[in-house]
Amino acid sequence: MPSVRVRPVTLSILVTAVLLFANSVTASADEPKAPPCKTVAQFDPANFPDPPKIDNSWNPWTPGMQFTWAGEADRGGGLLPHRVVTTVSDLTKMINGVRTVVIVEKDINEGDLEEAELAFHAQDNAGNLWNLGEYPEEYEDGKFDGAPDVWISGLEKAQAGNIVVGNPQLGTPEYLQGWSPDIDFLDCAKVSKMEQRTCVPVGCYENVMITDERSPLEPESGHQLKYYAPGVGNVRVGFMDDPEGEVLVLVKVAQLSPEQVAKVRQEALKMEKNAFKVSKVYRQTSPIELPAGVS
């Protein structure tokens, strides 16, 4: 039997095939694994109003509104007093083709500012509320200590997600709340209960919806339970198997004065100025825009 010999042209084809296979393996290794949850609707900038309007009854955001939650959480030193203050600014920012509302949030642990964040929210025409990105600053002893967890929809393969949906129903699939493979951020949520009742310092509420949020990339972090009261928004935060044991209740809802809104506006602009300095992702975005008549 004659020996088998690979002719040069065949050898060339085989080598090429091996290289292509190797490249495809490398590419697939670099390609992030798709999340186990999807948004409730396909993201399409054409489906968002401009100017933005957020009137979803489960999480209405009106410029000048400020919400304060208080409770406790274990951030490494046992359960300590924890406070979150969220303000809806009158600023907007274009993110991935959508004009978003700029949200300013401060995370205060045992009286000290631990994190300050700019978040970018928008509601589509179907009433679904979306999160299109976040710029969180970390602080140590009152001083800026970095911003490693920045994500912006449309940049570095990050995808926007749903905070709450326009027509929540029990038994519907988990929905994506946001995904950024660049920083290993992935949150999924589902409607867990409806028509519940809960009382917090600002009042008692009927017909409350509870959502169950989790991070598939960090199963050890447990689940966060959020209670949404119609016409108000998130009034309580609980947990299940969460090592931080974070519990928060809504203690104050306020409509800020024009002077207070202006102060929040300046804080947001100051944070963005820093964001452009420290974050290569944020530097790819367009600047925050002031409301009409404000210079």
Centre a 10 Å sphere on the Cβ of residue 39 and count the other Cβ atoms it contains.
Answer: 20
Query: What is the span of the domain harbouring residue 94?
Result: 45-187+258-281
Do the domain assignments include residue 270? yes
- The pLDDT tens digits of the residues spanning 80-99 come to 788 999 999 999 999 999 99
Residue 187 reports pLDDT greater than 50? yes
Residue 295 reports pLDDT greater than 90? no
- Residue 270 sits at φ, ψ, to 5 deg, of -65, -40
Do the domain assignments include residue 204? no
Task: Tell me which amino acid residue 69 is.
Answer: W
| pLDDT at residue number 293 | 86
- Residue 218 sits at φ, ψ, to 5 deg, of -135, 70
- Residue 230 sits at φ, ψ, to 5 deg, of -60, 135
The helix (run of H) or strand (run of E) holding residue 267 is: helix 258-278
Do the domain assignments include residue 250? no
| pLDDT at residue number 21 | 43
Do the domain assignments include residue 150? yes
% of the chain beyond a pLDDT of 90? 77
Tokens 């506006």 belong to 265
Do the domain assignments include residue 242? no
Counting the structural domains of the chain, the total is: 1
Residue 12 reports pLDDT greater than 70? no
Tokens 């969180």 belong to 136
Quote the pTM value.
Answer: 0.87
| pLDDT at residue number 288 | 98
% of the chain beyond a pLDDT of 70? 89
Taking residues 33-49, report their average pLDDT.
Answer: 95
Instruction: Evaluate whether 121 touches 60 at the Cβ level (below 8 Å).
Output: no
d(C-alpha 144, C-alpha 151), whole Å:
18
Do the domain assignments include residue 205? no
Please give the structure tokens belonging to residue 235. Answer: 């009034």
| pLDDT at residue number 100 | 98
| pLDDT at residue number 80 | 78
Do the domain assignments include residue 79? yes
- The pLDDT tens digits of the residues spanning 60-78 come to 999 999 999 999 877 667 7
Do the domain assignments include residue 54? yes
In sequence order, what DSSP letters do the residues of 67-118 get, joined into one string?
EEEEEEEESSSSEEEEEEEEEEEEEEEEETTEEEEEEEEEEEETTEEEEEEE
Q: How confident is the model at residue 10 (pLDDT cuts 50, 70, 90)?
A: very low
Average pLDDT value for the chain? 89
Taking residues 137-160, report their average pLDDT.
Answer: 95
d(C-alpha 103, C-alpha 64), whole Å:
10
Buried b (16+ CB within 10 A) or exposed e, 42-54: ebeeebbeeebeb
Distance of CA 112 to the CA centre of its chain: 23
* 294 three-state secondary structure: coil
- The pLDDT tens digits of the residues spanning 215-272 come to 999 988 889 999 999 999 999 999 887 777 778 999 999 999 999 999 999 999 999 9
Instruction: Evaluate whether 240 touches 219 at the Cβ level (below 8 Å).
Output: no
